[in-house]
Structure 1
Amino acid sequence: MKPFLRLWRRHRILTSAFLLAMALAIFFAGRTIFFVAYWADPARQDLPPEPWMTIGYVAHSWHVPVEKLARDLDLPPPPKDGPRPSLERLAEERGQDFEEFKAEIESSLAELRRLGPPK
């Protein structure tokens, strides 16, 4: 503990920057571990589309590119930042009920899965 106190007294700014960097590294490592564990769970693989999901969530669950899924459904690519509309809201904007839109999504997912990854 004495070496740290000596370092703190002599280099407060550098010590503070180091502690901040360590806190950020721990935060992002924890976040990464959480997301890896979340998406590795078999219960989250190939989930049927639900009204609360977004296009990105469905694409991630099915391991298909979100841009291709959006293009197949004649939707603009989802925004990188900001709110993403739910499938229910997208269906309303298209003038469809959710079940019709869900059938389109499932058809597109089956086709994208059949084609496989680009070569």
Structure 2
Amino acid sequence: MNKTIRTLWQHNRLLVIAFAIALSLTIVFGVRTTAFFIYWSAHQDVPVAGWMPAGYVAKSYRVEIETVREALGLDPQDRDRRPIARIAADRGVPVDELIGRVNAALREARADEATDGQ
């Protein structure tokens, strides 16, 4: 085994380096994908809270992000990443009011999804 590796290193150094880089990237992205899968499997339908940005809510409830952005009164195409609490503070509205709007939009989206699936 060592002789094979030594021979490859001596005659195909760039190929061995490229293979090592490719193997390292495969491992890194494989671990990252697995970690994301495990995280989001355990964080589905998390109760909406003020610290959550629109994207987190959309991913947790598996709805389009535009649905959540519209419920928050944001432009659906805007890339606003502020948490719900900051949006409420900027508008001078209670956080619970915005959370209520988001929850209503989520219920509506789920009801639409249920009727579309039948």
Are 1:32 and 2:33 an aligned pair? yes
CA separation of 1:73 and 1:51: change in aligned 2, threshold 3 A: closer
- Offset at residue 74 of structure 1 (A): 2.6
- Offset at residue 66 of structure 1 (A): 0.9
Q: Which moved more, 1:61-70 or 1:25-34?
A: 61-70
Give the corresponding residue for 1:50. Answer: 49
TM-score (structure 2 length as normaliser): 0.84
Are 1:114 and 2:115 an aligned pair? no
Q: Which moved more, 1:67-76 or 1:6-15?
A: 67-76
Instruction: Say which SS state the counterpart of residue 58 (structure 2) adopts.
Output: helix
Q: How many residues align?
A: 114
Amino acid corresponding to residue 25 of structure 1 in structure 2: T
Give the corresponding residue for 2:10. Answer: 9
CA separation of 1:78 and 1:32: change in aligned 2, threshold 3 A: farther
Instruction: Say which SS state the counterpart of residue 56 (structure 1) adopts.
Output: helix
5+ residue gaps in structure 2?
Answer: none
CA RMSD after TM alignment: 2.0
Displacement over 3 Å in runs of 4+:
none
TM-score (structure 1 length as normaliser): 0.83
CA shift digits 1:11-70 (9 cap, x unpaired):
2222111101110011111111111111112xx221111122111111111111112221
CA separation of 1:107 and 1:64: change in aligned 2, threshold 3 A: same
Percent identical pairs in the alignment equals 34
5+ residue gaps in structure 1?
Answer: none
